[in-house]
Amino acid sequence: MYYVSKKIEIAMAHRLSLNYESKCTNVHGHNAMITVYCRSEQLNENGMVIDFSEVKDIITRMLDHKYVNDVVPFNPTAENLARWICEAIPCCYKVIFQESERNIAAYALDSDNTI
């Protein structure tokens, strides 16, 4: 099995829909760090699991400098965004979405229990 990861920094804004009072229900922004993990049993015709620039292009098209509430049909929590990204990237099995230095969410197809 071959494994690769790509870390991307994006600027984004969102607001959360919550059932309790929180300043996060107001529009606010993050410089998020997203780490995408991909794997494949075989390399493609170029000798890669996936081209790192393809991963970057997909993420930036989806989220960079966007008001995320206008992009996704769900509550844009870090957890939900991690899953959405994982489902959008070919060969992806895990995404770590770090919206600030101390707030990190992960989604993985496997239960490796690591962030």
For 93, how many CA atoms within 13 A lie in the half-sphere containing its CB?
A: 15
57-110 pLDDT, tens digit per residue, is 999 999 999 999 999 999 999 999 999 999 999 999 999 999 988 999 999 997
pLDDT of residue 114: 55
Element holding 103 (H helix, E strand): strand 103-108
Complete edge-to-edge strand list for the sheet that includes strand 103-108: 66-67, 2-14, 28-40, 92-100, 103-108
pLDDT at 111 over 80: no
- Domain 2-108 in this protein, CATH class: alpha beta
**pTM assigned to the model:** 0.92
Report the mean per-residue pLDDT for the chain.
95
16-53 pLDDT, tens digit per residue, is 999 999 999 999 999 999 999 999 999 999 999 999 99
